Amino acid sequence: MCAVSWDECVWVGVKSHGMNVWVGVKSHGMNVWVCVKSHGMNVWVCAKSHGMNVWGVCKVSWDECVGVCKVSWDECVGGCQVSWNTPTSGGVTNLCQWMDRCHTMDNRPSITSSGP
């Protein structure tokens, strides 16, 4: 289970190749997430300061995820490229690849109160 309460997050939604890409910034714990919904599964990416990524596979329910990552406020998510890889038997293929990330939180997309 995920140690994140999604109702404490704010979200930004972006359409990409017909898939919903959600960028969430959690004020408590400073967790930054990107989620790509595809084939009934959610793939989460967490950005870390040293450039490494932590992947977690979520079920349909938004509160059933794996993996938590804390980042500092001077970081934010960068680009997320959606590929057309499909889930393989016995697992799920990563759908996102980090292209870059912002230098400051001010470069993040505008935050709205709407959620997934």
Q: What amino acid occupies position 1?
A: M
- Asked if residue 35 lies in contact with residue 25, where contact means CB atoms within 8 angstroms, the answer is no
Nearby residues of 72 by Cβ (< 8 Å), 6 or more positions away = 30, 49
Domain ranges of the chain: 10-107
- Residues 36-73 pLDDT 10s: 444 444 444 443 333 333 333 332 233 333 233 322 22
Share of the chain above pLDDT 90, in %: 0
CB 77 within 8 A of CB 63: no
E strand or H helix at 9 = strand 9-16
Q: Write down the pTM of the prediction.
A: 0.20
Rounded Cα distance between 74 and 52, Å, is 16
d(CA 70, CA 27): 11
Read off φ and ψ for residue 8, nearest 5 degrees.
-95, 5
Six-digit token string for 46: 């967490």
Q: What is the mean pLDDT of the chain?
A: 34
